[in-house]
Amino acid sequence: MLARKKIFSILIKALIGVASLSVIYFRLKDDFTHDKLQLIYNAAFSGKGILFFALCLLLMPVNWGIEAYKWKLITTPVEKINYATANKSIYSGICLGNLAPGRATEFLAKIIFFSPANRPKVTVLHFINGMFQFSITIVVGLIALLFKLNSFGEEFEWIAYITASIGVLVIVLLILCIYKIDFILHLVQKKISKEKNTQEFNYTFSAKTLFQLSGFSLLRYAVFFSQLVLLIYLFHPQHFDTNIFIGIALYFLITSVMPMISVLEAAIRAAIALVVFKNSGIENSVLALATVLLWFINIVIPSAVGYYFLVKMPPPTPPKGESSAVGKSSPLGRVWEGLT
């Protein structure tokens, strides 16, 4: 039985690796053409190129390091983990997040670094933590939208109004989740847990915690924003004005709100870029390269790190007498069983 479980574990981990590589390959194969690779090569080995690429790469661990601290902060009332474990959880989530649209599977890897009894609550906190980050993107993007609304034209006005409506809805949802967090955590725990008697759990967002989560989300947004600015400037150093900064904020907003279908993602992102960077003087090839490289630096490289953590993860050793909050027959239970 033990040998069979070990073989099954290896197969599951190998499948995750192959699936992640496949998604990355099909996402990048049409973007990294010979001409674009040549443009990257020429820019990278120019006078400023090495410095700019180095800065973008160095900002990657800063980006996810801030997210790891946020993750540790929001989950501490449920279960205390150290910063190193929070980092492993974050990077593992990035890897597994490649397997579904909208990175919907990311939480499956993140929660396995917590004890089984706490995973339902941690799952809820994963999505609430994401809404904090999303809300910053929405607020900054809506400010940019006010400056850029007239340039959309009648043909694309619907994009602006739908984006604004969804953005406001997400912020309202976040406020409700903060206000009712204790009720939501208890409800999810009761529905998912296999234990008949679930204990009441008190979780509240203090003013300090809300300030920290919002502040670090804003800081992380600034890091991500800076990376894209550096990449665009690398390929388009001339005529870099405030309209480009507004366009970047608006681009982040719309691409975050619009649902992305894998096979059409490149076309959708290109269409959005054409609208928000209209009359900016930036070529489409430059926008495509900058956004693809941003994705490569912040998703592909961390995915490799996360896969390493998943492969090296030891089997769980729950305290004696503790029962799993996630049944082995559930999808989440099977994922956990396969990983270990």
Tell me the pLDDT tens digit for each residue of 265-304. 556 666 777 777 877 777 777 777 788 888 889 988 999 9
φ, ψ at 51 (rounded to 5°): -65, -45
- Taking the C-alpha atoms of residue 42 and residue 49, their distance in angstroms, rounded to an integer, is 8
pLDDT (average), residues 80-85: 95
Q: Are 133 and 221 in contact (CB under 8 A)?
A: yes
Name which of 100, 81, 98 is nearest 89 in CA terms.
Answer: 81
Q: For residue 50, what are the domain limits?
A: 2-339
Q: What gap in Å lies between CA 241 and CA 325, rounded to an integer?
A: 53
Q: Are 129 and 106 in contact (CB under 8 A)?
A: no
Cα 339 from chain centroid (whole Å)? 21
Q: Name the band, by pLDDT with cuts 50, 70 and 90, for residue 127.
A: very high
Q: Measuring CA to CA, how many Å separate 115 from each of 23, 267, 315, 319?
A: 30, 42, 12, 9
- Greatest mean pLDDT range, 130-139, 162-171, 318-327: 130-139
The whole model's pTM is what?
0.80
Smallest Cα–Cα separation from 201: which of 178, 174, 176, 181?
A: 181
| Count of the separate structural domains present in the chain | 1
Which pLDDT band, with edges at 50, 70 and 90, does 334 fall under? very low
How many angstroms separate the CA atoms of 248 and 135, rounded? 16
What is the average pLDDT across 186-197? 68
What lies within 8 Å, CB to CB, of 9 at 6+ separation is 338, 339, 340
Angstrom distance (rounded) from CA 35 to CA 285: 10
Per the CB < 8 A criterion, the answer to whether 217 and 70 are in contact is yes
Residue 113 · residue 89 · CB < 8 Å: yes
Helix, strand or coil, per DSSP, at residue 329: coil
Instruction: Give, in degrees to the nearest 5, the angle at Cα 199 between 195 and 203.
Output: 125
The single-letter code of the amino acid at 69 is: Y
